Amino acid sequence: MFSHDELTPPEREVWAAFPEGRRVDLRTGTPEDDDVAGGGQWGPERTVRAAVIAALVLGAGTARPGVAACLRLSGARISGHLGLAGVEIGHPLWFEDCWFEEGVDLFGASTHSIAIVGSRVPGVEAGSIRIEGRLDLRRSRLESGPASPFHRSVTALSLINAHVSGAVSLNAAEITAPGAWAVSAGGLVAEGGVYCRDGFVAHGEVRLMGAQLPGGLFMNGARLERPAPPAGWPSPWTTPWPRHSSSPRASPPTGRYDCGVPGSRTT
């Protein structure tokens, strides 16, 4: 819990708005000042601690009868680590044009719709999450952060064994993990499909082994830039791989893809 005196002015604004689901917009309206790429330079007037957000989501905010609580925050610098692993989140979360200082951990959480739109995040861990709604990461820039204890490799976006009742939207997102896993989504179930359109770019491997996508997989115009194979691997483009080889599979080559597969199931 935080007392009123412990909160900064922007945090007090978020705290007051949460029970009514009102959006707090900390953007200035000046494009150069609101460019998320420079969010690391935003000052205390635009900074909200991740611990304050977690406290609200976990029940510190006072609910008001007849109003649906929701966290809606735009143009903020989120300081610290937003750790909500294993938590049952009872309210939708919406972040727009925000700059996250550290990654977001939602491993094993249960929640409603989550949106992190047009934002910069150093890694999203959402393995084994259960979302009754959508996961919306449109226009966001996800970068690989420190390796997670749940993975053998650095991963920018993990959706391993996640279950999403709606769609997973990665439209116009850029996910970067050179030499590692940009998207690791083995065993993902996304009933509304996965959308990687409108200029989606992945720098690193994209893994969907065993995913079930009844709503389809759509990659119209997507760009996948694979990592270089480790030293000593044979080139997959010059040396055929044994059909029953124990060697790891190579990634597809860099290129632009147009793919729409309704009712997809990957193996």
DSSP states of 74-137 as a string? ES-EEES-EE-TT-B--S-EEEES-EESS-EE-TT-EES-EEEES-EES-EE-TT-EESS-EE-
Measured distance CA(248)–CA(232) in Å, rounded? 12
- Rounded CA-CA distance 11/183 in Å is 32
**Per-residue pLDDT band at 242 (split at 50, 70, 90):** very low
Q: Which residues contact 210 (CB under 8 A, 6 or more apart)?
A: 186, 187, 266, 267
Contact 118, 99 (CB under 8 A): no
| Residue 146 pLDDT | 67
Question: Residue 205 in 3-state DSSP?
Answer: strand
267 Cβ partners below 8 Å, 6+ apart?
209, 210
pLDDT at 234 over 90: no
Distance CA 205, CA 152 (A): 14
Give me the mean pLDDT over the 147-158 stretch: 76
First-to-last alpha carbon distance for the chain, in angstroms, is: 46
* Amino acid in position 57: V
Q: Highest mean pLDDT: which of 1-5, 138-142, 174-178, 255-259?
A: 138-142
Coil, helix or strand at residue 264 = strand
Q: What is the DSSP letter of 176?
A: E
pLDDT of 151 reads 64
Determine phi and psi for 130, rounding to 5 degrees. -125, 115
Query: pLDDT at residue 152 above 70?
Result: no
Q: What is the pLDDT of residues 164-217, one digit of tens each?
A: 999 999 999 999 998 889 999 999 999 999 999 999 999 999 999 999 999 999
Q: Which residues pair with 155 in a beta bridge?
A: 181
Q: What integer pLDDT is reported at residue 60 of this predicted model?
A: 77
Residues 157, 183 contacting (CB under 8 angstroms): yes
- Degrees to nearest 5, angle at CA 231 with 225 and 235: 60
Question: Quick one: pLDDT at residue 82?
Answer: 96
Paired sense of beta strands 222-225 and 255-257, if any: antiparallel
**Section 249-260 average pLDDT:** 46
| pLDDT tens, residue by residue, 81-126 | 999 999 999 889 999 999 999 999 999 999 989 999 999 999 999 9
Tokens of 190: 């996304």
